[in-house]
Amino acid sequence: MPSILTRPSGGGAAPAPSGGYVPPSDWLTLPTVNSGDNKFVGVVAVFDQDNNYITFNATTDGGTWSVDWGDGNTQTGIASGVTAEHKLSYSGATGALTTRGFKTALVTITVDSGNFTGMDLVEPHSEATDQYYQPWLDVRMAANLSSWDSYSTGSEPILGMLERFDWIGSNSLNQGDSMFLSCTALRSVVNLDTSAWLRATQFIRNTPLIEFPVFDTSSMTLGILLPDTQLDEITITDTDQITSGSISFQGSILKHITIQNTGVGNRTSLQACFSTTPNLIGTPDLGDTSGVTNWLAFCINSGIRTMAAHDLSGATNMTSWVSGCHNLSRILAFGATITHSIANCNLDVDAIEEYATNLGDGTGQTLTTSNNPASGSWNTTIATAKNWTVVD
């Protein structure tokens, strides 16, 4: 069957989105960082005040590490697992006063010997008496870490000023849960290796992201949850390994989703996969969906116009699968054999007859098509000849 969105021939990852977010021109510029450098650099905000708190914790595989705070102060020979803390000096910050009312400084963190294995950006400063924003604005790094913490809990500081994040090269993280959750200024993730992640629950939730690289889910077994993301588009690769948990874009404002793989793995449920996605014009090609049984509320209350050629032949639950999809004007999905409804959509005669032609054998099941532009006008014998009862 045809599909409105097709997988690229030859497979592989698509390029990351280009253009979009550019840091303000009055910030200091990040230097080049290469894969294998074991380096973390960041542009930070420095206000004309005494309590410009900043902290960093790093672990290594056998050596010490050092930090240049970018304001004339340095710390060297820091032991693995120890938190370095500082109060940034406004007078020492090398960046000019910005239109946002702060100067910028360039913080550089390097390993003295060995390799970085873990980083923690949300350890509180010892003088802080309340939760505060860490001053990171723009970060670029290269380190093959197995441990990472950027999500604030309790009294930990928040990455509420971070606007761009760029992780060069590979890492060994096994999950990305809550990685950028509530990073409310984050606009761009330039590079991020997710190939070893087993799960990624809420990792970009409540962020104003406009750019994200190809999302490699080749190791994921526990589902994809991208609710409430502000991204316009995303490319996801290799969802075949996902066997449990949800694949859901529910509540996102995504306009385009590309999934590069050969199927949805051993999944039997796509419940609410594209529900309440008002800007999504068409569902992406999900590959082989013949083993999916549960299509409950698949795209309920969604803004989609065209549904791709999903194989519905294994469906045992299609309750409310397109309910509230008042803009839906074409359904390329095929093979359904159970009672379901395509009522209250925007299907004309050609569209309903196309869908009816692609139905499986109904064996007395009911197809409801009422309250479409074609209702009362289309040739219902196309469906009844396949043993369907039609409610039009």
Q: What is the largest CA-CA distance in the chain?
A: 83
pLDDT over threshold 90, residue 284: no
Q: Residue with structure tokens 């809550």?
A: 178
The pLDDT, as a whole number, for residue 142 is 98
Q: What is the Cβ-side half-sphere exposure of residue 191, based on CA atoms within 13 angstroms?
A: 14
Place 217 in a pLDDT band, splitting at 50, 70 and 90. confident
DSSP track, 90-111: TTT--SPPPTTS-EEEEEEEEE
pLDDT over threshold 70, residue 167: yes
Q: List the structure tokens of 300.
A: 């309920």
Average of pLDDT values for 368-381?
Answer: 97
Place 189 in a pLDDT band, splitting at 50, 70 and 90. very high
The pLDDT, as a whole number, for residue 227 is 57
Average of pLDDT values for 118-133?
Answer: 95
The pLDDT, as a whole number, for residue 38 is 96
pLDDT over threshold 80, residue 247: no
Question: Nearest-CA neighbor of 102 among 136, 74, 55, 127?
Answer: 136
The pLDDT, as a whole number, for residue 325 is 95
Cα–Cα distance, 204 to 162 (Å, whole number)? 13
The pLDDT, as a whole number, for residue 4 is 29
The pLDDT, as a whole number, for residue 13 is 31
Using DSSP, state whether 16 is helix, strand or coil. coil
Backbone angles phi, psi at 383, to 5 degrees: -85, -40
pLDDT over threshold 50, residue 16: no
The pLDDT, as a whole number, for residue 205 is 79
Q: How buried is 20 (Cβ within 10 angstroms: 0-12 exposed, 13-18 middle, 19+ buried)?
A: exposed
The pLDDT, as a whole number, for residue 36 is 93
The pLDDT, as a whole number, for residue 245 is 52
- CB contact at 8 A, 291 and 312: no
Cα–Cα distance, 298 to 311 (Å, whole number)? 13
Residues above pLDDT 70, as percent of the chain: 89
Please enumerate in sequence order all residues whose Cβ is within 8 A of that of 18, keeping only pairs 6 or more positions apart, or say none: none
The pLDDT, as a whole number, for residue 1 is 31
The pLDDT, as a whole number, for residue 335 is 98
Quickly list H helices, the chain: 349-357, 381-384
Average of pLDDT values for 203-214?
Answer: 86
Q: Residue with structure tokens 């005494």?
A: 50
Q: Where are the beta strands (DSSP E) in 69-202?
A: 74-78, 83-87, 103-111, 116-120, 136-142, 147-149, 164-167, 188-189
CA dihedral of residues 34, 35, 39, 41 (deg, nearest 10): 50
Least confident of 80-89, 139-148, 172-181: 172-181
The pLDDT, as a whole number, for residue 224 is 65
The pLDDT, as a whole number, for residue 17 is 41
Q: List the structure tokens of 361.
A: 């054998």
Q: Residue with structure tokens 């379901």?
A: 340
Side chain identity, residue 99: T
Please enumerate in sequence order all residues whose Cβ is within 8 A of that of 356, keeping only pairs 6 or more positions apart, or say none: 367, 378, 379, 380, 382, 383, 386, 388
Tell me what the pLDDT averaged over the chain comes to: 88
Least confident of 98-107, 117-126, 221-230, 253-262: 221-230
Per-residue b or e along 194-227, where b marks 16 or more CB atoms closer than 10 Å to that residue's CB: bbbbbbbbbbbbebebbbbbbbbbebbebbbbbb
Q: List the structure tokens of 16.
A: 């990351």
Residues above pLDDT 90, as percent of the chain: 67
Average of pLDDT values for 185-197?
Answer: 93
pLDDT over threshold 50, residue 341: yes
Which residues partner with 334 through β-bridges?
Answer: 311
State pLDDT tens for residues 25-62: 999 999 999 999 999 999 999 999 999 999 999 999 98
Average of pLDDT values for 86-115?
Answer: 97
Q: Where are the beta strands (DSSP E) in 171-284?
A: 188-189, 215-216, 224-225, 233-237, 247-248, 256-260
pLDDT over threshold 90, residue 321: yes
The pLDDT, as a whole number, for residue 202 is 79
Least confident of 10-24, 81-95, 232-246: 10-24
